[in-house]
Amino acid sequence: MKIIRSKTLAYDILLILKEDKNHISFLMKCTHQDNILVATNKGFTCNLHGSNFNLNGDVLNGPASRPLKKLKTIEEENSINIYLS
């Protein structure tokens, strides 16, 4: 796992290398009330109201009811491209 931080983004991005060697990435923004998430080895936690998400972005417990925003992630030769829209 790697956290990607940009001065131009309000939220960090978490890039994960899955067991099948493919990458996925998520915007670290809680889907409940747009709070910053904290990454752990098991997933994501929102310190505002206690929502938890697994490493696939699925809600483990609320109050969040929607999964995290998964970002289009494409591997090309020696780079990984993450698309924000």
Q: Which residues contact 76 (CB under 8 A, 6 or more apart)?
A: none
Distance CA 34, CA 63 (A): 12
Q: Which amino acid is at 55?
A: L
Average pLDDT of the residues in 39-63: 93
**Which CATH topology does 2-83 take?**
Rieske Iron-sulfur Protein (2.102.10)
* DSSP β-ladder status, 59-61 and 13-17: unpaired
Write down the pLDDT at residue 18: 87
| pLDDT given at position 21 | 84
Instruction: Give pTM, 2 decimals.
Output: 0.85
pLDDT tens across 4-47, in order? 998 999 999 999 998 888 899 999 999 999 899 999 888 999 99
pLDDT surpassing 90 at residue 69: yes
